[in-house]
Structure 1
């Protein structure tokens, strides 16, 4: 059951303003990902692997006519979207509203080098990402308050279109929860990885497909939601799509 806050935010995107399809991807590997560095709103570039992932995304989506490409204002998101936008003849639109969650006083710290107090703070946040704020940082509800209104404006201007959003792990969780009516608390630990892109059909009945970007399954489209580890229980009847 959605909480009051969830219902309020979800309703800011009116059904008549939904695009035809939304493709939701996470940025490729960044330098901070490679280092194990906490980098919510820091601005590291993509690694060579991340650049290859960006090219792979553009290849997998090449037969889908996109009409809008949306990124955050962070370079790892912009760099990931660039090959796809160029292949489609589009200029990406950057929205600071979908920047990654702020980790506050832990920004820039190496995960393996945290002192006890900092690790305790990170552990508290990990247990309750929806509500707990790292000092000077955000929780998932804070992210939802800024991300969904920003996307609502894009959706109002592009109804009926196919839109690619290249976001971040926690921003993408917020977007999924708002568009599909998922409980934010129950999916907070879901691993959103760069090896999948999610295809969302929002009206009249929301549906989601997972498109694989790597390995032998590259380009395969599965009905339902597949995370980095396992399919969500909400989509147990997952099967191969067309």
Structure 2
């Protein structure tokens, strides 16, 4: 059996000093969420941990790694959808930018956010390729070649993997491993809260294994901190 535990990073501080930054670190509340996450996972064992290369994911993983005694490998394929620079803009300007982006036709969403943002097509290819390479090269899984579906042959021994990433990259991992048709709004379909926990596990099906969604957007560990509205930004 392979279990993949996916965690969205904790709340970032997108506008320190009142102006936007492209690569924020965690807010004070976000650091509290990361500590609560570490407490929630304290009784679990993981064979490997992975995080994106972005500061908000690395900061979220840090107390978890300290509590569980695991070292996280940083993977650029786990990074969030790359946006055009919003550095130095006000909160109102940022809100207007995302409102315009959301108002476009859904087919245009595949092209990313103009001007110059990464396309969702590229994000899907980047993350899908990354997670499948990780499972096969590092954890002994093989894609079942004769099924016509995205089914797997897992290794003999059980493995538990912990991934700390972003709403966009997590939505692609879920789409790929659950064999769900890709859509340009996967991050809406699989929207999760900051520092929320999602769990996938392999289950037998015919002569192969499929990934089953066993938990989505677990947030009980965050309720003592309060739950302000989550944002759309990765």
Calculate the TM-score normalised by the size of structure 2.
0.72
**Aligned partners of 1:129 and 1:188 also within 8 Å:** no
Alignment-derived partner of residue 215 in structure 1:
223
Matched, 1:189 2:171: no
Alignment-derived partner of residue 92 in structure 2:
112
**Aligned partners of 1:130 and 1:141 also within 8 Å:** no
| Farther-moved stretch of structure 1 (179-188 vs 119-128) | 119-128
1-side partners of 2:198 and 2:165: how far apart?
Answer: 12
RMSD of the alignment, in Å?
3.1
**Which structure dedicates a bigger proportion of its chain to strand?**
2
Alignment-derived partner of residue 132 in structure 1:
111
Change in Cα spacing, 1:110 to 1:96, as seen in structure 2 (3 Å) is farther
From 67, 74, 78, give the equivalent of 1:87: 67
**Aligned partners of 2:49 and 2:70 also within 8 Å:** yes
Matched, 1:20 2:19: no
Alignment-derived partner of residue 202 in structure 2:
202
Change in Cα spacing, 1:105 to 1:59, as seen in structure 2 (3 Å) is closer
Matched, 1:64 2:69: no
Q: Number of paired residues?
A: 198
From 31, 37, 62, give the equivalent of 1:51: 31
From 178, 182, 190, give the equivalent of 2:176: 178
Change in Cα spacing, 1:188 to 1:28, as seen in structure 2 (3 Å) is closer
Alignment-derived partner of residue 148 in structure 2:
none
2-side partners of 1:128 and 1:188: how far apart?
Answer: 15
- Residue 188 of structure 2: SS of its match in structure 1? coil
2-side partners of 1:163 and 1:45: how far apart?
Answer: 24
**Aligned partners of 2:4 and 2:162 also within 8 Å:** yes
Q: Deviations over 1:83-136 (max 9, x none)?
A: 1112221111001111111112546644522597x5675234584575132221
Change in Cα spacing, 1:129 to 1:75, as seen in structure 2 (3 Å) is farther
**Aligned partners of 2:109 and 2:120 also within 8 Å:** yes
Alignment-derived partner of residue 13 in structure 2:
31
Matches within 5 A, 1:218-237: none
2-side partners of 1:82 and 1:75: how far apart?
Answer: 10
Please report how far the alpha carbon of residue 43 of structure 1 lies from its aligned counterpart in structure 2 after TM superposition: 2.1
Calculate the TM-score normalised by the size of structure 1.
0.70
Q: Deviations over 1:141-178 (max 9, x none)?
A: 21111122222332221244211111111111111111
1-side partners of 2:87 and 2:108: how far apart?
Answer: 16
Q: Which segments of 5 or more consecutive residues in structure 2 lack a partner in the other structure?
A: 141-157, 204-208, 225-229
**Aligned partners of 1:35 and 1:110 also within 8 Å:** no
**Aligned partners of 2:167 and 2:187 also within 8 Å:** no
